[in-house]
Amino acid sequence: MKDIKCPSCGKTFRIDPSSFEEILLQIKDEEFNKQIKERLQLAEEDNNKALEIVKQEFKIKLVEQNRLKENEMQALQAKLNITEEKKTNALSELRNQASNKINKLNNELKNLQNEIKSQSLISELSLKNKINEAVSNLEKENSLLTNSIEKMKLEQSINEKLIEEKFRNKISERDLTIQELREMKSRLSTKMVGETLEIHCETQFNLNRASAFKNSYFEKDNDATSGSKGDYIFREFDKNKTEVVSIMFEMKNESLNGTNKRKNEDFLKELDKDRRQKSCEYAVLVSLLEPESELYNAGIVDVSHRFPKMYVIRPQFFLPIISLLRNASMETLKYKSQIDLMKRENYDITNFETTLEQFKNAVGKNVSLAQDRFNDAISEIDKSITHLQKTKEALILSKKHLLSADSKSQDLTVKKLTRNNPTMKKKFNDLNNFEDEVA
């Protein structure tokens, strides 16, 4: 026992060494709840800030992509306008060329007619041939122009289809990018591409082991002798090799194409069992299940109302939850050290009290045995006294009977004996008469 003075009220009270652990648990729970509340507020603020940052980045990316798409669409529209303009110019040029050739042929026809008029010697057959030749050339030119126009129309149609297909591909790429950004937003910054959840968490821990977890143990739980096991066990030690905090981790991932949608609730009972069997103080479920749940997406979720000292988190809170629980345990470690010091200071008193108690118990046991023997002896004496008392009473009763017999014998006379007995009375009278005669 040791007197302790309260720093607040100044009152002095005594603490039983057996209540040290209870006091430690009270201090630890109060401090831990305070730390949990503060850390949860900070984590919630950080999570809100992270969400705002992701939203801003998401908006910026969407604006940037929309701007790039609009620029590309404007460029393609400009190319389409240029192509349309070239087509119009080419058609105009072809029409001009056809008109010029027609005009030229008309001029040649007029010249031929003038020649016919001026040269009457030219035969009619020769004139017809020249006219037919001119008409044939004109038809050929017209056919070439028609083919060129049809070819340009076909090329224009092909270009329009190519441009339309290109637009569709761009729109599909943009929709795919938007979908990927939405998935990235739902998963925040987990960066789980190409790796499992366990590897991700182990990698994150190993990246920070040298700087933040020098005295920590974080390894796979390979002990399945109890029938089940968790995924990872974390233990933190101080410089005296005293355990500060221990955490049982369970990681649960889910395929995006999976049809069997599991819930976090399905794994809490088994995780609590593993925590108890492996003597861990806390249990944490790192989960990507229920990706649309606002509860689990909000931050660190305390489920200690279902199972003691248990939390459910997303992967981005893996390192923060370790720091949170470790710092809370470090705060209570100094109280534990003070109580250990008080225990050491009171060790001699406690040992003396223990020895004294043992001596008192031994003496008390001997006294109890002696008292039992004494009581047995007294009981036997009481029994003997009772027996002697009965014997005494019997003797006294016999004495009374003897005294009564003696008294009766003293009262006995000849007269009493011969009373109502004439024969004996006569004989005694005869005897008395004889004695008198003899005398």
Reference 310, options 295, 323, 325, 298; nearest CA is 325
CA distance 436 to 439: 5
SS3 334: helix
Q: Let me know if residue 21 belongs to a domain.
A: no
Query: What pLDDT, on the 0 to 100 scale, is given for residue 282?
Result: 94
The answer to whether position 168 is within a domain reads yes
What's the mean per-residue pLDDT of the chain? 76
Looking at the structure, tell me whether residues 354 and 418 fall in a common domain: yes
Tell me which of 186, 207, 241 is where a domain ends. Answer: 186
pTM of this structure? 0.39
**115 vs 86, residue with greater confidence:** 86
80 plus 92 within the same structural domain:
yes
Q: Two tokens at 255?
A: 């395929």
Four-point Cα dihedral 204, 205, 210, 214, nearest 10: 160
What average pLDDT score do residues 17-38 get? Answer: 66
Are residues 74 and 204 both part of a single domain? no
The band of 191, judged by pLDDT with boundaries at 50, 70 and 90, is very low
Instruction: Encode pLDDT of 420-437 as tens digits.
Output: 767 766 776 777 776 676
Instruction: With residue 311 as reference, give the H or E element that holds it.
Output: strand 310-313
CA distance 285 to 278: 16
From the CB of residue 47, how many other CB atoms can be counted at a distance below 10 Å? 20
**200 and 341 assigned to the same domain:** yes
Last residue of a domain, one of 186, 219, 237: 186
Q: Among the three residues 130, 154, 186, which one is the final residue of a domain in this structure?
A: 186
Do 226 and 334 lie in one domain? The reply is yes
Residues 205 and 328 grouped into a single domain: yes
Say yes or no: 200 and 179 in one domain: no
3-state secondary structure at position 222: coil
Look at residue 307 in the predicted model and tell me its pLDDT: 93
Print the domain residue range for 374. 349-425
- 47 within some domain: no
Same domain, 106 and 157: yes
Does 46 fall in a domain? no
**Pure H helices in 213-317:** 268-277, 294-297
**Of residues 277 and 382, which shows the higher confidence score?**
277
198 and 336 fall within a common domain: yes
| pLDDT at residue 192 in the model | 43
Token pair listed for 273: 């069992």
Report if residue 128 sits inside a domain: yes
Q: Vertex 413, ends 408 and 415: CA angle to 5°?
A: 130
Residue 2 included in any domain = no
CA distances from 394 to 70, 242, 390, 391, 402 (A): 136, 84, 6, 5, 12
pLDDT of residue 18: 60
Q: How many domains does the chain have?
A: 3
Q: What's the pLDDT band for 194 if we cut at 50, 70, 90? A: very low
Pairing of strands 2-5, 12-15: antiparallel
Residues 90 and 202 both lie in one domain: no
Q: Which residue has the higher pLDDT, 386 or 113?
A: 386
pLDDT digits (tens, 9 = 90+) for 315-349: 989 999 999 998 888 877 777 777 767 776 666 56
Crossing angle of the two packed helices 347-411 and 318-345, in degrees rounded to 10: 50
**Same-domain check for residues 336 and 216:** yes
Report if residue 114 sits inside a domain.
yes
β-strand pairing of 243-252 with 282-287: parallel
3-state secondary structure of 242: coil
Rg (CA), the chain: 62
In this structure, the answer to whether residues 179 and 211 fall within a common structural domain is no
Is residue 1 one of the residues assigned to a domain? no
